[in-house]
Amino acid sequence: MTELTVQAIVDNLPKVTEFIDAQLEALDCAMRPQMQIDVAIDELFANIARYAYGGETGEATVRFDFDPADRMASVTFVDSGVPFDPLKKVDPDVTLSAEQREIGGLGIFLVKKTMDNMTYRYEDGKNVLTIYKHI
């Protein structure tokens, strides 16, 4: 497992993406799953940066792990912000037109649909969200 800890600010999103992309590229990850993981990173890290600390700044740790037996990559986001379980968020009704839908939730919905699995736990005062993707 490798990890990177940064200030949870949107300006650090490229640094987080580059960190994960370097791990994926070292494993010869195909472009499609890498792009799906990048979109998930964009959504999840940006949400931490914007909402976890209520307008204040805190840290976020991003961990990368890989299970070679089934070529499963995992990316874990850890922050000490307010507890928030995105898995409990009701999926938007995508059958409605954009004008009829409530604002928000589409990004997390997209992450849920493109990842192979997603887990959340609140442990020791920290949000721990992990996404899993076969590469």
State the pLDDT at residue 91.
Answer: 55
pTM to 2 decimal places:
0.89
Q: What is the span of the domain harbouring residue 49?
A: 2-134
Q: Rounded to an integer, what distance in angstroms lies between the CA atom of residue 106 and that of residue 94?
A: 9
Q: Rounded to an integer, what distance in angstroms lies between the CA atom of residue 8 and that of residue 50?
A: 8
Q: Where does the pLDDT of residue 105 fall: very low under 50, low under 70, confident under 90, or very high at 90 and above?
A: low
- Residue 42 sits in a domain whose CATH number is 3.30.565.10
State the pLDDT at residue 112.
Answer: 93
Across 59-66, average pLDDT: 98
Is beta strand 2-7 parallel, antiparallel or unpaired with respect to 117-123? unpaired
Residue 17: CB atoms within 10 A of its CB come to: 17
Is beta strand 59-67 parallel, antiparallel or unpaired with respect to 72-79? antiparallel
Strand ordering across the sheet containing 126-134: 2-7, 59-67, 72-79, 126-134, 117-123
Are 8 and 60 a contacting pair, CB within 8 Å?
yes
Beta bridge partners of residue 123, listed in sequence order: 126
* Count of domains forming the chain: 1
State the pLDDT at residue 101.
Answer: 47
